Amino acid sequence: MECRLAAAVAALACTVLASPAMAGKSLDAVKQRGTVNCGVNTGRAGFAIVDARGEWRGIDVDYCRAVAAAVLGDAGKVRFTPVSTQTRFTALQSGEIDILARNTTWMLSRDAALGLHWVGVNFYDGQAFIVRKRPGLDSAKKLNGATICLSAGSTTEKTLADYFQANRMSFRSVVLENADAAIKAFEAGRCQVYSNDFGSLAVVRATELKNPDDYEILPELVTKEPLGPAVRRGDDEWFAIARWTLHAMVEAEELGLTQANIDAQRASSASPEIRRFVGTGEDLGKHLGLDRDWSYRIVRQVGNYGDSFDRNLGPNTPISLPRGLMRLWTDGGLMYAPPIR
């Protein structure tokens, strides 16, 4: 009896593991609508901004396009909704958007209390300070008594208070309506310092401040700011699709799959890992409620994670950011994807 029961349980487990994923309500809605509704920054070069041709560009934009390529077969089937610091969470909670991809920090209070799931990290950042160059001002620990411009609705003021208290310093904050207003106030001299995530400060210095060489970003990162996309809780199927889309972009770079070579690899590669990824081997899409070509389309239409970083933030862009922590784990960075198998 015990042997027969054990065999029955094992057979049931194998059946469950082999079963295709059930389509969730978000996936059904996206397919019926024909677009992925994605909330992005109101305008931050390198992350999400409208270019001179009226096209959205940026690392967060690429992620949204990758989801559309996986789910709808076309990376162009995205409706981008600009959301501010104050409106981003409400837009996701209310269902106005399907995914929030707006350089937003993953932290306990947001993850546990807002009814959201972060799908992963696409940019490892930290809060920093930008100042006008001045002899001797080479460290954040020399900012005692400084006036600092901040944007409303972020956690920046609280983290500043923690940092200054820990270092027995004081500061005076000037809180503005949004980041654009804070940047203008800083440039106009209303404050001595502007504080935001390092990535945002690099964008500001390169693209928004006149005479960028007059400014420098101080070396300290005073917080951890893992930035990444988020979805609503309560739809595990959609969460899995969103999460594995990001993993697929990283895994593709690990496998050496790029927009330039993926068709050739699909036609000739004998590697089981690559064959699974490009859809000519084991069908893994069924576990997500997708077809077998979902990850192939991500790379064919959008590119791998490195393609996206280099195109939007890398050395050949005005922002010219080094990969840093965004390097693959094999190169000493933190970008690491669970195996797609």
What DSSP line would sit under 235-249, residue for residue?
A: -HHHHHHHHHHHHHH
Give the C-alpha separation, 322 to 336, whole Å.
18
Q: Which helix (H) or strand (E) segment is 127 a member of?
A: strand 127-132
The predicted model gives 271-275 an average pLDDT of: 96
**Residue 22 domain-assigned (yes or no):** no
Q: Which domain holds residue 264?
A: 27-124+228-331
**Residue 269 domain-assigned (yes or no):** yes
- For residue 23, the model assigns a pLDDT of 53
Average pLDDT, the chain: 91
Residues 162 and 215 in one domain: yes
Residues 49 and 99 in one domain: yes
Residues 320 and 184 in one domain: no
**Residue 166 domain-assigned (yes or no):** yes
Residue where a domain stops, chosen among 196, 223, 250: 223
Looking at the structure of the chain, the number of domains it has is 2
**What's the pLDDT tens digit per position in 124-175?**
999 999 999 999 999 999 999 999 998 887 778 888 999 999 999 999 999 9
- The beta strand positions in 193-324, using DSSP E, are 193-197, 215-217, 225-227, 230-232
Please state, as a whole number, how many other Cβ atoms lie within 10 Å of the Cβ of residue 134.
10
Q: Going by C-beta distance under 8 Å and a sequence separation of 6 or more, which residues neighbour residue 106?
A: 118, 121, 226, 227, 228, 230
**What's the pLDDT tens digit per position in 212-238?**
999 999 999 999 999 999 999 999 999
What is the CATH classification number for the domain harbouring 96? 3.40.190.10
pTM: 0.87
Residues 100 and 180 in one domain: no
Residues 44 and 183 in one domain: no
Q: How does DSSP classify residue 107?
A: -
Residues 65 and 195 in one domain: no
Give the C-alpha separation, 224 to 207, whole Å.
24
**Residue 290 domain-assigned (yes or no):** yes
| Tally of helices (H runs) and strands (E runs) in the chain | 13, 14
Give the C-alpha separation, 302 to 286, whole Å.
22
Residues 236 and 216 in one domain: no
% of the chain residues with pLDDT over 90: 85
Confidence of residue 10 (pLDDT cuts 50, 70, 90): very low
Residue where a domain stops, chosen among 223, 252, 286: 223
